[in-house]
Structure 1
Amino acid sequence: MMAKKRHEIAEVPFAAPVGTPAGVEVMSPAELLRRVPARTLARPQRPDFHHLLTLTSGVARHTVDFTEHTLRPGSWLWVRPGQVHQWGDLTGAEGTLILFRQDVLDAATATTARLDDPHAPAVSTPAADEAAALDLAAEHLSRESGAPGRLPLEVHLAAVRHLLAVLVLRLAHLTAPAGAGAPEHDETYTRFRDAVERHFTRTHRVEDYARMLGYSPRTLARATLARAGVGAKEFVDRRVVLEAKRLLAHSDRTAAGIAEQLGFARPSQFGKYFTHRTGQSPIGFRDAVRGRGE
C-alpha cells in the first residue's frame, strides 16, 4: 500500500495469495523480494499483522520503531502489529519469513505469548538447544502451510494454527519479563496495558487510569513493574513518546497538530514533555531522523 504523502506511514493489511492458509503465510526473503520491490520495502510501514524472520545464511538489517537491528543466523526478529518498521537490504539473506494475523491463534495462546506487547524485544538469540527446537517448529510450519492439499482443509488449518502456536510460545518464552506469569499481576497489568492503548491520546496520568479501572495507582505501579519492568508512569510515557516519534518521523503533521492528536493542551507543553523524555525537541528529532540534523 502506498502512502498519500511522502512521509506518511503506510498502513499495510494482511493479504495472502489465494490458496494459502487463512491468516498465515510462510516464505523466504528471496520470495518477498520477488513479490515486493526493494524501494517499497524500505519505506516506513505499519502492518496489521505479525512478522517472524530467522536466517540460515547472510545478514539482514531491519528498523523497528527507530531502532536498527542486525539479524544473523540463529536469531529471530519479531515485528508486531502497529509497530513501524522498515526493511533493509535482503540481498543474499536466506531463511524463513512467517506472516500471520493475530486472530489466527486462540485467545489463551495470544495472552500467554504476549502477542500484543508493544515493549517486547524485537530480536532474540536463543541458546543452541532452544534454537534447534525453534528451527524444527518453523520447518514443520513451513511444510504444512505449503501443502494444503494433503489433508482435509479444516484439519490442515488446525495443524497450521497449532504449529504456529508452538513457535510463538517458544519465542515469547525467550523474552518473558522477570515477573511474567505471576497471577496476582497478570489481570491488573493486562487491563492497564489495554486501557493505555485505548486512551493514551486522552490522558497521560496514572491516576486517571487507576480511577478508570478501579485500582489504586500503587497497585498499577506494582503490576506494571512486575510485568513490563518499568513503573506505570514510565509505561504511559513510553507509549506517548513512541507515537510522537512515529508521527514526527513518518508524517507531515506539524508539531502543533501532533500535540493536539496526543492530548496536549498546548504545543509548548508537548515540546517540553518530548524534550524532557528524549533529549531532543520534536523538530530536532524530525530533522535528525530525516537526515537533516547535521
Structure 2
Amino acid sequence: MPKDIPNIAFNAKKTNNSGIDILTIEKLASRTDLLDNHHPEKVHQVAFNMIVYYTEGESKQLVDFVWHPVKKHTIIHISKGQINAFKFTKGLKGYILLFTTDYLQKQINSLPKNEIVRLFNAHLFSPIIQVPIDSNVLQYFELFYNEFNNLKEDYNQENTYKALHSIIFSKLERLKQYQTFHLKHSNQLNTFLNFKSLLEQHYKVSRNADFYANRLHITYKHLNTICKTTVGITAKQFIDQFIILEAKRLLINSEIKSTELAYNLGFEEPTNFVKYFKKHTGFTPNSFKKDYI
C-alpha cells in the first residue's frame, strides 16, 4: 500500500559507499530526476541523518512540523525518522551532509558522548545552530565536499571521510554546547535520558508519569523537577509532546486509520485518542492529515 508521505532512503551516487554522502543545496534544488512525490520541497521523512549548512541566502526548512528560518551560516541537523522539507529560494546555497545510522554507530567510539546527545536528540534540543562568522566550520564542509568529489584519489579516502566527519561533529558540538550551556552531563541529565529511553519503549503501555518514575526508582516530584530543569516542562507535558509527535509522524506517513492508530498508541477507545489529539494540536487526526497531505 503506497505511503502518503515518502520515506526517503539513503542512496549515495558514489560506488562502494560506506554510508556517507555530501551534496550542495543548489544541486538538490536543480535535480530533475526526482519523482513529483519525492521532491525535497514536499514533506517527507528521512531514513538517515543529515546536517545542512546554509552558506548563502535566506529561506526556511521544515523539521518535525515546525518551519525554522535559515540564513547564511545557519546549520540544521536532522535525525533518522524526522519529518523534513526544504524551501528553495533564489540565491540559496550550502552543503548537505548525509550519513546512515550504521555509519554514525561506527563513529561513536571516536566521538565524545556529548556530541551524540546534543546534536541528535530531537526531543531535547533545537535543530538549529547559528555558526559565528569567525568560525572555521565551513572550511571543513568545503574540504569534505572536495575530498568526496575528488575522482583522482581513492586511496585511504574512507579514513579521510571519517576524520573529517569527526572534526565537523566536534566543531558543531562545541557550538551547540554554547547554546545549551545549562545542560551539562550530570546525574539529572542521565536520569532524563533514561526516562526518555523508557518512554520510547513503553509509551504504548502508559502515558502516566508515575509509571516512569517508579521504573526509575525516583518520586514523581523528582522526575518533574528533572524535566523542568532539563527541558523546561513537566514530565507529563514531555510525555504528551512525545506521543503527539509520534502520532503526527504515523498519520502522515501511512494510510493508517485514526481508529487503528489509537489502539497502536495504547488508547482503549478511539474517541479518547481523538479528544487527546485535538486538545494538544487543535486538529482532529483526520483534519491534521488532510491539511498536511
1:128 paired to 2:124: no
Is there any run of 5+ residues in structure 1 with no aligned partner, and where?
A: none
Partner amino acid for 2:199? Answer: V
Is this contact kept in 2: 1:12–1:45, CA < 8 A?
A: yes
Is this contact kept in 2: 1:44–1:250, CA < 8 A?
A: no
2:164 to 140, 160, 164: 160
Partner amino acid for 2:277? Answer: F
Q: CA deviation at 1:155?
A: 3.6
Is this contact kept in 1: 2:213–2:219, CA < 8 A?
A: yes
Corresponding residue for 1:34? Answer: 31
Matches within 5 A, 1:79-158: 79-89=78-88, 92-101=91-100, 102-106=104-108, 109=111, 111-113=113-115, 114=117, 115-119=119-123, 120-129=125-134, 132-147=135-150, 149=153, 152-153=156-157, 155-158=159-162
Is there any run of 5+ residues in structure 2 with no aligned partner, and where?
A: none
Corresponding residue for 2:48? Answer: 49
Counting matched residue pairs gives 283
Deviates more, 1:183-192 or 1:38-47: 38-47
Question: Quick one: structure 1 residues 162 and 283, their matched pair in 2 at CA, closer, same or farther if it must change by over 3 Å?
Answer: closer
| Overall identity of the aligned pairs, in % | 22
Partner amino acid for 1:159? Answer: A
1:184 and 1:161 map into 2 onto residues whose CA distance is 29
2:106 and 2:185 map into 1 onto residues whose CA distance is 26
Partner amino acid for 1:62? Answer: Q
Q: CA deviation at 1:222?
A: 2.4
Q: RMSD over aligned Cα, in angstroms?
A: 2.7
Is this contact kept in 1: 2:25–2:96, CA < 8 A?
A: yes
Matches within 5 A, 1:198-213: 198-213=201-216
1:6 and 1:91 map into 2 onto residues whose CA distance is 31
Matches within 5 A, 1:1-294: 4-5=1-2, 7=4, 9-19=5-15, 22-32=18-28, 33-34=30-31, 37=34, 39=36, 40=38, 41-89=40-88, 92-101=91-100, 102-106=104-108, 109=111, 111-113=113-115, 114=117, 115-119=119-123, 120-129=125-134, 132-147=135-150, 149=153, 152-153=156-157, 155-176=159-180, 179-290=182-293
Give the TM-score of the pair, scaled to structure 1. Answer: 0.83
Once superposed, which parts of structure 1, at least 4 consecutive aligned residues long, lie more than 4 Å away?
A: none
Give the TM-score of the pair, scaled to structure 2. Answer: 0.83
